[in-house]
Amino acid sequence: MTIARFGRITPTQGHMLWLVGYYLSRAKSTLDIPDDERKDHMITGRKRLIDKTGMDFGYDLTAWHNFLIDHKEHGYDHPFAFEGVKKAVFAGKLDKHRDQLVKELRTIEKEAERIAQFGLVTQSQLAILKLIRYRLSGDEVNLSIPDDERISNMILGRKGLGKLTGLDFGYDLAAWDQFLIARAEYYYTFSYAFKLVQQAVHHYKSDTGRERLISKIK
């Protein structure tokens, strides 16, 4: 693809620019964006690099750069835009503000859990998934479980959200979802699993089977 400032880039070069934190488009490529947006790009870049290579060097630009230089099959050092991308990556290594964003991401991830199908989920995302009634682990995501276990999961999800926020919207998925989206401090919109969590919330917030279980709790 062709983007502003860098010209024609390979997919891996684009992933590295995202890892730096760039907003990329044909019209503009910039780091002059809100911190949350920049962190989203960094997360996306890391995810794409993991998917592409099967490796994970976190947000370490030096480690990713060296690995990709040694593994030509990923197309990182293709001459189209490599010199410009390399300069941007090296500048990213010295970017103190990016260092601070990386620290914030690592703090979030330290408290997160890796769940099958969803990947890395924050504590608020995990509680929402339990509120839906999922059985969750690193190896399994399952709704085909006994009603007693589903009810127990929903109660745990509600308690977890209450402990986290100091509030109680009961078993109302829509209310919890709206509240958490508006409150960045709970990391509910953390990029790794947010889209998948949102899909689950939208699918189950009006689910009659879930409503039946809620009536049993009451």
Question: For residue 133, is pLDDT > 90?
Answer: yes
Question: What pLDDT shows up at residue 147?
Answer: 96
In this prediction, residue 69 has a pLDDT band, given cuts at 50, 70 and 90, of very high
What percent of the chain is modeled with pLDDT above 90?
92
Q: Is the pLDDT of residue 53 over 80?
A: yes
Task: Determine the pLDDT at residue 1.
Answer: 83
pLDDT at 95: 98
Confidence of residue 92 (pLDDT cuts 50, 70, 90): very high
Domain ranges of the chain: 2-110, 113-217
pLDDT for residue 68 is more than 90: yes
Across the range 114-130, mean pLDDT stands at 95
| Mean predicted confidence (pLDDT) in 82-91 | 97
Predicted confidence (pLDDT) per residue in 156-193, tens digit: 999 999 999 999 999 999 999 999 999 989 999 988 89
Check if the beta carbon of residue 21 is closer than 8 Å to that of residue 38. Answer: yes
CA–CA separation, 118 and 97 (whole Å): 29
Q: How many CB atoms lie within 10 A of CB 165?
A: 17
Average pLDDT, the chain: 95
Tokens matching residue 20: 């730096």
pLDDT at 13: 97
32-69 core/surface letters (b: 16 or more CB in 10 A; e: else): eeeeeebbbbbbbbbbbbeebbeeebebebeebbebbe
Ranges assigned E (strand) in the chain: 2-3, 7-8, 23-24, 29-30, 113-115, 119-121, 135-136, 141-142
> Which pLDDT value is given to residue 190?
87
Q: Looking at residue 192, what is its pLDDT?
A: 82
Return d(Cα 116, Cα 139) in angstroms, integer.
5
Q: What is the pLDDT of residue 218?
A: 67
Q: pTM here?
A: 0.78
